[in-house]
Structure 1
């Protein structure tokens, strides 16, 4: 490979902390050394440190001063993907590439000073609670996240299995949503596959971890053995992962010598990463994306589209086009700095723009309805936005009511009808099992009426 590719060993791309592509330096022998004693600016920094240490009226923690100085320098870059992590935050960051971790299973990032959901992981408590891409986190357990960087926010959100965390979110078009989520062990299982009756292999890739490439290869082989005639690669709500996995997985669908991605350094120099082996999939393929498709997932989508003419279906992707390099200090803390841009095969930079699909497709409106807390109770006479959400859910399930934000007599009748149909106590009150039942039925309906997947299958059939 060329110079930049040789200089860096791809290690992590994780949106759990910052939806970032991360490269680890493998050889730093040629890195320029910086001498603080030779630089007046660093003398100024040391002078301030000494002044605080000697003259501040209370005893100070030297480590906190050093951490604060580093954090301040990194924050001065104005780049949400460059960050300093103390020991606790760095430990959480490292967990993102392990086989499992304890938390809610939501990938988050910082953008324009806001802490946003990139995507919930498949089967996670965050997905079950209805978290959506671009939900803005306002509070964690009644503590405002304003002023926090993404790693600080993640530290508050994560916790031991079985404990609860309360999030206050702002959702576009809905307003504030309050969600209580029980933390759990989040396994990093990344590839799910099935064969349709029409011999089409549906493959969902939820992130790019250490084993994803081998998982994908195994899934494709098994589907082929069952007679698969084409594949839909579902990258929806995939926040990224290991970059080397994204490259090797793209090579499965991109012929040897064709471009997978480009890397542009700060001096404008571009290095091209090309497929090193002949592709192993010759069957027709379609890629399915949405606004939660980010970073390494965007690398793969763009590579398959531009270098193998594979169509993309769904919604515009997230738009993350920079590369970060982490470095760990001896005390366990670390710093992660943006060092380059990544470009699509044709040289486009999709940062904050995303990738536009060839065929646009949206999910039904009820797919974006917010989560309802089963511990809350809603009954006749109540009013407010939560009641309107209840009414919209009932309508989506076929129990027709007017979504007027008032829990009126007709709404109560619809609730009793739902309870009767599902073997629940017919009291007309929405709480506990009734709330959970309504949301479970909505998820079942969405799974059966996945309009985006249906569109992708229709496009694939035209390619076959």
Structure 2
């Protein structure tokens, strides 16, 4: 999921923060055994000086050695030595209390690397662990997760009936991902909802196509970047070239629900819109040393631009938004972004496992650290309330006399679509049934006044289409862009 199901995405520093083999941890545990051997030899022959010298070199690990030896020798069952070592590393990562630092087993590491490639199999949603809970950061465009109605900030309570509270995002991804064509049932709690709902999603191959373009009106193009994968910069250049052939005179760049991805792609894309020599972002290490990254754009692209962001815009997409805003004066429209201001590096162990950990802060060109704060747009434009209505389980039967939060959501959807249910308090009465029948008639469905299966899916799809067609954030961006183009 990497989240897409990815998750957690990691900000890989490509050429300037390279992914390299990490041998330190394995060497450390080799020294554990070596130290034990030296100690035994010294005690047997009365030579204690070498053992004391070795221990004193890394005295902070004495407690770890003692715990390992005690469990290995005295636990009531035989212990898996490799599992103990992996658990020690995992415990170190957990102690950082950083949702972006994680230890991954061989299988998890394989999934992680796949999430940065051209495709993977799963439901297609970025997730994040916060305070022991797993949240959706954003569903990928066109993914099963998006089609099922998952939204940013949805909390996942369980996967196929198994609670995932207390799990890391990597552990949750391992449960949620699976082979194409298989089903996974998620228990979802949406913000503002009192009761969770079960959502069954059929896994599919998730292609990492990350750039989508279309011409709107008066030479205005809208280009959406869904995440920053290996080929995103190249995809974007190709799409922009196509838009120029269609007469593009101005561009709306849509970064909504973009969870980020590879840092080098953010650098390349930001450079397309920021003048040469201007700062794109800054990186600050633990000692306070700051390195600036500047645009290498030599094309002097003066294309009028407006960028749209929301609470699902995170990390690399925030780097791009901050760069164009502060170094190129590009207007930002929409809602405050997610607020991820750290950079991660992924390093592999020799056995194929992996650990991902935070190495630096990143700052906007003006030195702002947006972590847990987000980037506030120049023009705040919220989506209508109906855009964040909770998912309705198609397997649930909503009919006369039923009262529930899902009925309330259905009533709000019906009203937004022009079918007045008469009430929005969650009680399904005869007037609500009349509204359902009218909706079913408009879609040429069985007119039974019951919301279930196809009727429920059509209701949610119709609302999604309305949101797309009446998108106030894009409309405002077009309005602002027209003003920029007329200057």
Give the TM-score, by structure 2 length. 0.89
Instruction: State the match for 1:360 in structure 2.
Output: 380
* Residue 288 (structure 1) aligned with residue 308 (structure 2): yes
Instruction: Return the offset for 1:44.
Output: 2.4
Instruction: Return the offset for 1:14.
Output: 7.8
Instruction: Return the offset for 1:433.
Output: 1.3
Compared CA separation, residues 185 and 13, structure 1 to 2 (3 A): closer
Question: Secondary structure of the residue that 2:186 maps to in structure 1?
Answer: strand
Instruction: State the match for 2:291 in structure 1.
Output: 271
CA offsets, 1:253-285, max 9 Å, x none? 011111001000000000000112324531110
Compared CA separation, residues 122 and 198, structure 1 to 2 (3 A): same
Compared CA separation, residues 279 and 13, structure 1 to 2 (3 A): farther
Superposition pairs of residues 92-103 of structure 1, within 5 angstroms = 92-103=111-122
Instruction: State the match for 2:151 in structure 1.
Output: 132
Superposition pairs of residues 53-202 of structure 1, within 5 angstroms = 53-175=72-194, 176-202=196-222
CA offsets, 1:385-427, max 9 Å, x none? 1111111111111111111211111111111111112111111
When structure 1 is superposed on structure 2, of 50-59 and 305-314 the one drifting more is 50-59
Q: Distance in 2 between matches of 1:127 and 1:26?
A: 31
Instruction: State the match for 2:343 in structure 1.
Output: 323
Q: Distance in 2 between matches of 1:140 and 1:372?
A: 18
When structure 1 is superposed on structure 2, of 245-254 and 157-166 the one drifting more is 157-166
Instruction: State the match for 2:18 in structure 1.
Output: 25
Q: Distance in 1 between matches of 2:463 and 2:20?
A: 52
CA offsets, 1:204-227, max 9 Å, x none? 000111111111111111211221
Q: Distance in 2 between matches of 1:15 and 1:164?
A: 15
* Residue 408 (structure 1) aligned with residue 429 (structure 2): yes
Q: Distance in 1 between matches of 2:134 and 2:20?
A: 34
* Residue 453 (structure 1) aligned with residue 443 (structure 2): no
Q: Distance in 2 between matches of 1:404 and 1:347?
A: 48
Q: Which has the larger radius of gyration?
A: 2
CA contact (8 A) 1:104 1:184 kept: yes
Give the TM-score, by structure 1 length. 0.94
Q: Distance in 1 between matches of 2:278 and 2:20?
A: 27
Question: Secondary structure of the residue that 2:269 maps to in structure 1?
Answer: helix
CA contact (8 A) 2:12 2:19 kept: no
Instruction: State the match for 1:440 in structure 2.
Output: 461
Instruction: State the match for 1:3 in structure 2.
Output: none
Instruction: Return the offset for 1:83.
Output: 0.9
* Residue 419 (structure 1) aligned with residue 440 (structure 2): yes
| Partner of residue 247 from structure 1, selected from 242, 251, 267 | 267
When structure 1 is superposed on structure 2, of 373-382 and 251-260 the one drifting more is 373-382
Larger proportion of helix: 2
CA offsets, 1:105-145, max 9 Å, x none? 00011123321111000001111111111111111111111
CA offsets, 1:167-220, max 9 Å, x none? 122221223233221111111000000112211010000011111111111111
Question: Secondary structure of the residue that 1:252 maps to in structure 2?
Answer: helix
Instruction: Return the offset for 1:99.
Output: 0.8
CA offsets, 1:44-80, max 9 Å, x none? 2122212211111111111110111111111111111
When structure 1 is superposed on structure 2, of 147-156 and 12-21 the one drifting more is 12-21
Q: What is the total number of aligned residue pairs between the two structures?
A: 452
User: Aligned-pair RMSD on alpha carbons?
Assistant: 2.0
CA contact (8 A) 2:19 2:346 kept: no
Instruction: State the match for 2:229 in structure 1.
Output: 209
Instruction: State the match for 2:43 in structure 1.
Output: none
* Residue 309 (structure 1) aligned with residue 325 (structure 2): no
Structure 1 residues without counterparts, runs of 5 or longer: 1-11
CA contact (8 A) 1:254 1:278 kept: no
Larger proportion of strand: 1
Question: Secondary structure of the residue that 1:363 maps to in structure 2?
Answer: coil
CA contact (8 A) 1:251 1:278 kept: no
Compared CA separation, residues 135 and 13, structure 1 to 2 (3 A): closer
